[in-house]
Amino acid sequence: MFLADEGCARKRKTEVGPKSEDCMNPDSAVIAAFKVFQQELDTKHDKYERLVKISRDVTIESKRTIFLLHRVTSVPDVEEILNEADVKLDSVRQKIGQIAEELRGEDLHQFHRAFTPGIQEYVEAVSFHHFIRHRTLVSLEEINARLVFMRENKGVGEVTCPGQCVLTFQITPTDYLLGVADLTGELMRMCISSVGNGDMDTPFQLGGFLREIHDGFSYIGNTGPYEVSKKLHTLRQSLGKVEDACYTLRVRGSEIPKHMLADVFSSRAAHLDPDDAMA
């Protein structure tokens, strides 16, 4: 009985007390400051969401470019595929220009997690395209040199430009390394496809190229960013599959008829690890 009366007393006390909204002074300097903070946070969150959406578009278009480039192993006119990929990459760069416009006057690192997946996928697509055409690894400087955009001046902050402004987007070294690490998976798939189509020279070229990339990542080791060290395991798996294909061609190539090589290596590619399939 005592507990029931105490509960009722507490309830009555709560009901009688004034509401917090009635005690707020709308002219208070503290309330005004927090309203400013609210507007700043809402603006930042809206920009973050816009960057996430643009990054998704960049990822989708970059993946489509990579799928297109894998056709070079089965078509007679490689240059036609490369030219078509150039057009797709130009459209991807325009979307990266939207990212640069959103980041105008902002601290890049505050929004980096919003767009880094798309940038890594773009680096993978550009480096894959560059390797097919030149058989070399594209540098970070070469990638950044293509990310220069002309935009109308909006007078953000104290930055003013007459007419048009030149916007640049600088890919970070970490995003570049992560994109190159993902490239190794595409090169491994290209190796298997090449053998399946009767190309016996490309696997050995890819094997040497992947070993050079592996050596470069080995120098970084555990001293680099955590994400880079995680990619090293997948890189070694890709290199191992390519070396296994080269071994089979060199040692057992004469034992397996060429028309059966496609079946042999296609069955190997079908047993990729789940982590490799998602890379």
Q: What is the percent of the chain where pLDDT is above 70?
A: 78
**CATH number where 107 lies:** 1.20.58.190
**Which of 6-15, 116-125, 184-193, 270-279 holds the top average pLDDT?**
116-125
Annotated binding residue 102:
no
Inform me whether the pLDDT recorded for 15 exceeds 90: no
Annotated binding residue 61:
no
Q: Which of 27-31, 66-70, 117-121 has the weakest average pLDDT?
A: 27-31
pLDDT digits (tens, 9 = 90+) for 92-116: 999 999 999 999 989 888 999 999 9
Tell whether 176 is covered by a domain: yes
> What would the mean pLDDT of 56-77 be, rounded to a whole number?
95
pLDDT digits (tens, 9 = 90+) for 220-256: 877 778 888 888 888 998 999 899 888 888 877 666 6
Inform me whether the pLDDT recorded for 159 exceeds 70: no
Inform me whether the pLDDT recorded for 91 exceeds 90: yes
**CATH number where 193 lies:** 1.20.58.200
**Based on the domain organization, do 221 and 127 belong to the same domain?**
no
Inform me whether the pLDDT recorded for 209 exceeds 80: yes
> Half-sphere exposure of residue 266, counting CA atoms within 13 Å on the CB side?
8
Q: Comparing 87 with 151, which gets the higher pLDDT?
A: 87
Q: Give the residue among 7, 88, 120, 97 at the shortest CA–CA distance from 51.
A: 97
Residues of the domain holding 136: 42-151+166-171
Q: Name the domain boundary from 142, 171, 200.
A: 171
Tell whether 37 is covered by a domain: no
- Overall domain count for the chain: 2
**Based on the domain organization, do 82 and 113 belong to the same domain?**
yes
pTM of the model: 0.80
**Based on the domain organization, do 52 and 142 belong to the same domain?**
yes
Q: d(Cα 93, Cα 169) in Å, to the nearest integer?
A: 10
Pairing of strands 164-168, 148-152: antiparallel
Q: Which of 1-10, 24-33, 64-73, 143-152 has the weakest average pLDDT?
A: 1-10
Tell whether 220 is covered by a domain: yes
Is 194 in contact with 203 (CB distance < 8 Å)? Answer: yes
Is 158 in contact with 144 (CB distance < 8 Å)? Answer: no
> What would the mean pLDDT of 51-59 be, rounded to a whole number?
97
Q: Name the domain boundary from 139, 171, 203.
A: 171
Inform me whether the pLDDT recorded for 268 exceeds 60: no
**Based on the domain organization, do 46 and 143 belong to the same domain?**
yes
228 is written with which tokens? 């880079």
Is 279 in contact with 240 (CB distance < 8 Å)? Answer: no
**Based on the domain organization, do 147 and 56 belong to the same domain?**
yes
Q: Comparing 74 with 54, which gets the higher pLDDT?
A: 54
Q: For residue 275, what pLDDT is reported?
A: 46
